[in-house]
Amino acid sequence: MSTDYIAIDQQQIIARGSLEVVIRQVKNMGANHEPIVFEAQSCKRVEVDWHGDTEEVLAVSAADTAAHKAKRGRPKLGVIPREITLLPCHWEWLSQQPGGASVTLRKLVEQAQKQVSPEERITRKQQELDKFMLLVAGDTPGFEEASRALYRNSRISFKKAIHSWPSDLKKLVFSKFEEIAEMHSGKL
């Protein structure tokens, strides 16, 4: 399953698709566009260096991806090495666990991920959408009202707050709001 991306410039969705498709579509529009790119599902921002022609931008993007994948660790498993800081008693306990510190920490994280409450999932989704709205519509009339309505799960207030936003942006944020509302009602 490939990841879908969206490019937003001046509150308009100007490209959608794989990262390569988005880059090609944007570069075909000319040099006047340097949109913000987001992963469509999570609304997480993706850094793209728009300087250069299409092939240069694609090469930098591919190089960033390759550099990310080529780090030490266990790349076939997707293991990423990072530093963590623990107290000596924590290190001692970890060293006594079967499989060592890394295996034990992965198991603890996986266990915690399985135990995430519906409220925590909703809060994360709300925060993702709020951050997205801040980046693309933070100065837009209705933003603060939309943000408050998002956390109150007020469909009517949210729809009213975004009514004057550009149609494709309004459609996108409202669909994300609806996903969260379904989580509130227990449908997701």
- 10 within a domain of the structure (yes/no): yes
Residue 52, domain member (yes or no)? yes
Q: How far apart are CA 31 and CA 17, in angstroms?
A: 20
> Domain boundary residue among 29, 46, 69?
69
- Which of these three, 29, 50, 69, is where a domain ends? 69
C-alpha–C-alpha distance, residues 175 and 166, integer Å: 14
Domain boundary among 69, 87, 109: 69
The answer as to whether 99 is a domain residue is no
Which of 4-13, 75-84, 101-110, 165-174 shows the lowest mean pLDDT across its residues?
75-84
pLDDT digits (tens, 9 = 90+) for 128-171: 999 999 999 999 999 999 999 999 999 999 999 999 999 999 99
122 and 180 within one domain: yes
Does the residue 93 lie in any domain?
no
Q: CA 13 → CA 25, 31, 52, 68, 170, distances in Å?
A: 11, 17, 22, 28, 10
Residue 62 φ/ψ, nearest 5 degrees? -65, -40
* pLDDT tens digits along 58-80: 988 876 655 555 555 566 677 78
**9 membership: H or E segment, kind and range:** strand 5-9
Q: What percent of the chain has pLDDT over 90?
A: 67
Residue, of 119 and 74, whose pLDDT is higher: 119
Residue 101 included in any domain: no
Domain count, the chain: 2
Q: How far is CA 147 from CA 53, 82, 91, 131, 160, in A?
A: 37, 34, 42, 9, 12
- To 10 degrees, the CA torsion angle through 86, 91, 97, 98? 90
Average pLDDT in the chain: 89
Q: Which two three-digit tokens encode residue 126?
A: 């709300």
- pTM, two decimals, is 0.76
Residue 97 placed within a domain: no
Determine contact, residues 128/147, Cβ cutoff 8 Å. Answer: no
Residue 98 within any structural domain of the chain? no
Domain that holds residue 181: 118-185
127 is a domain residue: yes
